Amino acid sequence: MTRDKVWLSSPHMGGEEARFVTEAFETNWVSPVGPHIHAFEEALATYNKIPHCAALSSGTAAIHLALIMLDVNPGDEVICSSFTFSGSCNPIAYQGATPVFVDSETSTWNMDPALLEEAIADRRRKTGRKPKAIIAVHLYGTPARIEDIMAVARRHEIPVIEDAAEALGATYKGKPLGTFGDLGIYSFNGNKIITTSGGGALVSENEAWIKKARFLSTQARDPAPHYQHSEIGYNYRLSNICAGIGRGQMLVLDERVRQRRANFEFYTRELGSLPGLYFLPEPEHSFSNRWLTTVLIDPAGTHGVTREDIRLALEASNIESRPLWKPMHAQPVFKDAPSYVNGVSDRLFDLGLCLPSGSNLPAADRSLVAEIIKKKLQKA
Ligand X SMILES: *Cc1c(COP(=O)(O)O)cnc(C)c1O
User: 3-class DSSP state for residue 294?
Assistant: strand
Instruction: Report, in Å, the least distance between residue 59 CB and ligand X.
Output: 3
For residue 231, which of 241, 223, 242, 220 has the smallest C-alpha distance? 220
Q: Is 58 in the site for ligand X (CB under 6 A)?
A: yes
Q: Which of 192, 212, 374, 375 is flagged as catalytic?
A: 192
Select 191 or 306, whichever has its Cβ closest to ligand X.
Answer: 191
The amino acid occupying position 247 is R
Q: Is 327 in the site for ligand X (CB under 6 A)?
A: no
Counting beta carbons within 10 angstroms of the beta carbon of residue 55, is it exposed (0 to 12), middle (13 to 18) or buried (19 or more)? buried
Counting beta carbons within 10 angstroms of the beta carbon of residue 72, is it exposed (0 to 12), middle (13 to 18) or buried (19 or more)? buried
Instruction: Report, in Å, the least distance between residue 157 CB and ligand X.
Output: 25
Instruction: Report, in Å, the least distance between residue 60 CB and ligand X.
Output: 3
Of 41, 103, 105, 166, the residue at the interface with ligand X (CB under 6 A) is: 166
Geometric angle at alpha carbon 304, from 302 and 305, rounded to 5°: 70
Select 197 or 306, whichever has its Cβ closest to ligand X.
Answer: 197
Site map (CB under 6 A) of ligand X, residues 88-117, x = contact: x-----------------------------
Stretch that binds ligand X, among 54-62, 266-274, 315-323, 353-361 (CB under 6 A): 54-62
User: How far apart are alpha carbons 68 and 70 in whole angstroms?
Assistant: 5
Stretch that binds ligand X, among 14-22, 57-65, 242-250, 302-310 (CB under 6 A): 57-65
The number of C-alpha atoms within 13 Å of 168 and in the hemisphere containing its C-beta is 29
CB atoms within 10 A of CB 298: 16
| Strand ranges for the chain from DSSP E | 52-56, 77-81, 98-102, 133-137, 160-163, 171-172, 175-176, 183-187, 200-204, 277-278, 286-287, 293-297, 322-323, 339-340, 352-355
User: How far apart are alpha carbons 263 and 9 in whole angstroms?
Assistant: 12
Select 271 or 329, whichever has its Cβ closest to ligand X.
Answer: 329
The footprint of ligand X on residues 128-147 (CB under 6 A) is 137
Stretch that binds ligand X, among 56-64, 148-156, 227-235, 267-275 (CB under 6 A): 56-64
Give the residue at shortest CB distance from ligand X.
Answer: 59
The footprint of ligand X on residues 15-34 (CB under 6 A) is none
146 to each of 61, 67, 112, 220, how far by Cα in Å? 23, 19, 10, 33
Instruction: Report, in Å, the least distance between residue 141 CB and ligand X.
Output: 10
Counting beta carbons within 10 angstroms of the beta carbon of residue 322, is it exposed (0 to 12), middle (13 to 18) or buried (19 or more)? middle
Would you call 192 a catalytic residue per the annotation? yes
Q: Is 85 in the site for ligand X (CB under 6 A)?
A: yes
Site map (CB under 6 A) of ligand X, residues 168-207, x = contact: -------------------x-x----------x-------
Torsion of CA 141, 40, 194, 55, to 10 degrees: -70
Select 200 or 358, whichever has its Cβ closest to ligand X.
Answer: 200
Instruction: Report, in Å, the least distance between residue 300 CB and ligand X.
Output: 29
User: How far apart are alpha carbons 168 and 62 in whole angstroms?
Assistant: 14
The footprint of ligand X on residues 260-319 (CB under 6 A) is none
Select 186 or 309, whichever has its Cβ closest to ligand X.
Answer: 186
User: How far apart are alpha carbons 319 and 371 in whole angstroms?
Assistant: 12
Select 87 or 113, whichever has its Cβ closest to ligand X.
Answer: 87
Geometric angle at alpha carbon 100, from 97 and 102, rounded to 5°: 155
Q: Is 9 in the site for ligand X (CB under 6 A)?
A: no
Stretch that binds ligand X, among 13-21, 81-89, 171-179, 225-233 (CB under 6 A): 81-89
Provide the binding-site residues for ligand X, judged by CB under 6 A: 58-60, 84-85, 87-88, 137, 163, 165-166, 187, 189, 200
Which residues belong to the active site? 192
